[in-house]
């Protein structure tokens, strides 16, 4: 989820690019760069780390009289966060540059074809392939717009791009597909950006590009066309009246709510390019372990903290069911201090959003010392865990600003389900037809969530009026939904400061049922799954003791409405994917209660985003 800004007009470009990047730095802070056209050549600056490092490099050049350029702040997906992998990327000649947000799924195949033609690559990124591909098309077209269109017809995946070419130094070309890109317009200038905040200091008149659309920008002039056939489009200009804070949150009240709504795209980004829809074949090129090594594994240890530990608990169900390997799940702070019975036949899997969690890192180091192979599921390219592991599965959630994890969690679930399918593929425990069905269901769940989110928020916003003043909550679920009960309770504790506990529903009779009375709200996850009747029996026991019930269940289940008036219905999806769906109302319930109580949702007290100390 990188940040892009571009400008063509009559003002000096470098200050505009830097100001735009400052307002987009929340989208990525692994590296930054900019390029401008001056004296018929392209001048490029890049720096590893935060934007301040780039500003230190280019500060003396702010006075350069150039009126066209591109800037980029990176959240690394392909290649470590280094200066060499920073955008903008150039072609072989250095006369063409590209900035890019998204994932080019077929970049490996394109790269091999281009190398066979003599192209030399200098980075590990998928983006550099775009620059060389456009260069290759320019040899035939000698026209930047035509070359970009031709190149994009060969590309699979998501992208928002900006392109400059020394051969047409007053032209900026931009395009998007499944990654955000907005244009800004003024009398003497045009702008592009990944998000509205970058444009607000300069213009409030914007045009939102849709998928498979391309913009050709000049000084106050522009055309918009379809990528596929080049036909021109007439697009309305919208007037933005947000303040800067609202704009950074894309109109949402808090980053957490924005990130809850970003989950469908984060799931798709994590899955993209890793499942072949026609066959169900799963490809995890960075896993770092060959089939023979994976076949020799006879035990898996999942190690994580907090929300990531809940993801690990769900993965245990999946892997044991579909792969048939015993799975042990450990809280990292316990794992690192007990006697570890791991060896070369154990696969230790660390799960961490940041890749820097101190306890998890210490745990995998101990496991590696004992001969275990180590795999990391992580959101941050180049983090310590990804460097020290034998292999990695990156989630592509983008930066998560809210301290309480939402989209990082569901992206971890998507990655772990992919891993389950991959292990079933390598060990031949999942037949191809079933694997394809499971893979397609994982892809489809993103659209299901996207469709349900607005309705769920509206219904939960009304429902919480009867609950937000409660002092305690219980969350209960069975099977795959027991970890979601734990996660729902954690979210409520984190951001509303209400005491909440999650339990396996069958455990109520072993103690917690003593807490049930007319003052105790109980959230029960009751999908129509293989343990539905058992869970309903537990709910009946709560009702008999006058507990205040909130039920999450399957659409059409009329029995639930006889138990309580407070039922949230969700679509009927494949049972294995219920955790991805049922976590959404749990997140929204915690958010709406915290918001109603006036809590600091994005920065709850005493918490940090990444726990890098013991």
For every residue of 224-291, DSSP letters joined together read: EEETTT--EE----EE----HHHHHTTT-SSHHHHHHHTHHHHHHHHHTTTB-TTT--B--TT----H
In the predicted structure, residue 62 carries a pLDDT above the cut 90: no
Tell me the mean pLDDT in the region 305-329.
97
Per-residue confidence band for 210, with pLDDT thresholds at 50, 70 and 90: confident
| Helices and strands, number each (H, E), in the chain | 18, 25
Structural tokens at position 185: 């317009």
Asked which of 54-63, 109-118, 528-537 is least confident by mean pLDDT, the reply is: 54-63
pLDDT of residue 601: 93
CA pair distance 34, 177, nearest whole angstrom: 22
pLDDT of residue 376: 97
pLDDT of residue 196: 84
Q: Which residue has the tokens 């998204």?
A: 102
In the predicted structure, residue 612 carries a pLDDT above the cut 60: no
Tell me the mean pLDDT in the region 16-24.
92
Contacts of 505 (CB under 8 A, 6+ apart): 476, 477, 478, 482, 485, 524, 534, 535, 538, 539
Helices (H), 94-217: 107-116, 127-141, 144-152
**Which one-letter DSSP state was computed for residue 178?**
B
pLDDT of residue 25: 83
Per-residue confidence band for 243, with pLDDT thresholds at 50, 70 and 90: low
In the predicted structure, residue 426 carries a pLDDT above the cut 50: yes
In the predicted structure, residue 202 carries a pLDDT above the cut 50: yes
pLDDT of residue 42: 95
Tell me the mean pLDDT in the region 36-60.
90
pLDDT of residue 405: 94
Per-residue confidence band for 60, with pLDDT thresholds at 50, 70 and 90: low
CA pair distance 543, 518, nearest whole angstrom: 9
Tell me the mean pLDDT in the region 266-279.
93
Q: How many CB atoms lie within 10 A of CB 29?
A: 20
| Beta sheet of 189-193, edge-to-edge order | 41-48, 31-38, 68-74, 3-9, 189-193, 182-185, 205-208, 238-239
CA pair distance 304, 503, nearest whole angstrom: 19
In order of 106, 249, 354, 410, the CA distances from 255 in angstroms are: 32, 6, 18, 16
pLDDT of residue 613: 46
Instruction: Give the number of C-alpha atoms closer than 13 A to the C-alpha of residue 438, restricted to the C-beta side.
Output: 24
pLDDT of residue 506: 92
In the predicted structure, residue 44 carries a pLDDT above the cut 60: yes
In the predicted structure, residue 474 carries a pLDDT above the cut 70: yes
Active site members: 2, 609
More confident residue, 5 or 61: 5
Domains of the chain: 3-248 (3.60.20.10), 258-444 (3.40.50.10490), 452-596 (3.40.50.10490)
Instruction: Determine what percent of the chain is predicted with pLDDT higher than 70.
Output: 97
CA pair distance 209, 536, nearest whole angstrom: 48
Structural tokens at position 515: 């807490």
pLDDT of residue 126: 93
* pLDDT digits 0-9 by tens, 326-377: 999 999 999 989 999 999 999 999 999 988 888 999 999 999 999 999 999 9
In the predicted structure, residue 500 carries a pLDDT above the cut 50: yes
Structural tokens at position 410: 């569901």
H or E segment to which residue 333 belongs: helix 332-335
Per-residue confidence band for 205, with pLDDT thresholds at 50, 70 and 90: very high
Among 407, 107, 450, 80, residue whose Cα is nearest residue 272: 107
Tell me the mean pLDDT in the region 159-168.
96
CA pair distance 59, 51, nearest whole angstrom: 12
Tell me the mean pLDDT in the region 514-536.
95
Q: How many CB atoms lie within 10 A of CB 471?
A: 9
In the predicted structure, residue 439 carries a pLDDT above the cut 80: yes
Q: Are 397 and 352 in contact (CB under 8 A)?
A: no
In the predicted structure, residue 614 carries a pLDDT above the cut 60: no
Helices (H), 464-530: 482-496
pLDDT of residue 195: 82
Mean pLDDT across the chain: 93
Highest-pLDDT range among 55-59, 233-237, 356-360: 233-237
Tell me the mean pLDDT in the region 304-322.
97
CA pair distance 393, 378, nearest whole angstrom: 7
Structural tokens at position 175: 């395009």
In the predicted structure, residue 224 carries a pLDDT above the cut 60: yes
CA pair distance 528, 611, nearest whole angstrom: 37
Tell me the mean pLDDT in the region 500-517.
92
* pLDDT digits 0-9 by tens, 571-581: 999 999 999 99
pLDDT of residue 27: 77
Q: Are 119 and 109 in contact (CB under 8 A)?
A: no
pLDDT of residue 242: 67
H or E segment to which residue 456 belongs: helix 432-463
CA pair distance 600, 94, nearest whole angstrom: 48
Per-residue confidence band for 61, with pLDDT thresholds at 50, 70 and 90: low
In order of 48, 77, 112, the CA distances from 134 in angstroms are: 26, 21, 15
């Amino acid at each position: 989820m990188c940040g892009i800004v571009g400008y063509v007009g009559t003002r000096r470009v470098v200050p505009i690019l830097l100001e735009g990047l400052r307002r987009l730095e929340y989208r990525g802070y692994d590296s930054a760069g900019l390029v401008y056209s001056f004296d018929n050549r392209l001048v490029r600056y890049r720096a590893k780390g935060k934007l301040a490092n780039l500003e230190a490099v280019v500060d003396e050049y702010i006075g350069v009289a150039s009126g066209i350029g591109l800037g980029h702040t990176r959240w690394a997906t392909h290649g470590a966060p280094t200066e060499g992998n920073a955008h903008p990327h150039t072609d072989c000649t250095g006369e063409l540059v590209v900035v890019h947000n998204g994932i080019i799924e077929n970049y490996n195949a394109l790269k091999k074809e281009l190398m066979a033609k003599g192209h030399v690559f200098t980075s590990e990124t998928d983006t550099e392939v775009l620059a060389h591909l456009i260069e290759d098309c320019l040899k035939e077209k000698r026209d930047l717009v035509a070359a970009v269109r031709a190149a994009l017809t060969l590309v699979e995946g998501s992208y928002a791009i900006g392109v400059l070419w020394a051969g047409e130094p007053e032209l900026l070309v931009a395009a998007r597909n499944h990654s955000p890109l907005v244009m800004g317009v003024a009398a003497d200038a045009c702008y592009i950006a990944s998000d509205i905040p970058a444009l607000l200091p300069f213009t409030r008149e914007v045009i939102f590009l849709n998928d498979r659309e391309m913009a050709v920008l000049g000084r106050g002039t522009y055309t918009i066309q379809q990528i596929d056939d080049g036909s021109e489009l007439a697009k309305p200009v919208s007037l933005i009246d947000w303040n800067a804070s609202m704009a950074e949150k894309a109109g949402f009240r808090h980053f957490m709510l924005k990130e809850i709504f970003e989950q469908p795209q984060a799931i798709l980004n994590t899955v993209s390019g890793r499942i072949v829809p026609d066959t169900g074949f799963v490809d995890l090129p960075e896993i770092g372990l060959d089939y023979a090594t994976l076949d020799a594994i006879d035990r898996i240890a999942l190690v994580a903290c907090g929300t990531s530990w809940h993801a690990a608990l769900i993965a245990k169900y999946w892997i044991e069911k579909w792969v048939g390997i015993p799975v042990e799940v450990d809280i990292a702070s316990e794992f690192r201090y007990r006697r570890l019975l791991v060896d070369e036949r154990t696969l230790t899997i660390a799960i961490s959003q940041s890749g820097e969690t101190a306890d998890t890192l210490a745990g995998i180091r101990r496991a590696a010392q004992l001969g275990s192979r180590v795999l990391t599921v992580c959101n941050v390219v180049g983090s310590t865990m990804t460097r020290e592991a034998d292999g990695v599965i990156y989630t592509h959630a983008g930066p998560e600003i809210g301290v309480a994890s939402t989209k990082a969690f569901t992206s971890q679930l998507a990655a772990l389900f992919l891993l389950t399918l991959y292990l079933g593929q390598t060990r031949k425990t999942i037949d191809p037809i079933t694997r394809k069905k499971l893979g397609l269901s994982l892809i489809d769940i993103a659209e299901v969530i996207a469709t349900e989110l607005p309705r769920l928020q509206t219904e939960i916003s009304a429902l919480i009026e009867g609950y937000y003043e409660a002092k305690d909550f219980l969350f209960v679920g069975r099977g795959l939904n027991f970890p979601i009960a734990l996660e729902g309770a954690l979210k409520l504790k984190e951001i509303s400061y209400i005491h909440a506990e999650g339990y396996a529903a069958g455990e109520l009779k072993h103690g917690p049922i003593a807490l049930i009375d007319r003052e105790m709200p109980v959230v029960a996850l009751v999908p129509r799954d293989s343990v539905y009747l058992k869970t309903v029996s537990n709910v009946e026991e709560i009702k008999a003791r006058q507990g205040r019930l909130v039920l999450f269940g399957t659409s059409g289940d009329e029995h639930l409405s006889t138990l309580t008036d407070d039922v949230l219905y969700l679509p009927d999806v494949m049972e294995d994917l219920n955790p991805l769906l049922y976590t959404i109302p749990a997140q929204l319930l915690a958010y709406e209660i915290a918001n109603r109580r006036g809590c600091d949702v994005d920065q709850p007290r005493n918490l940090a985003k990444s726990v890098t100390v013991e």
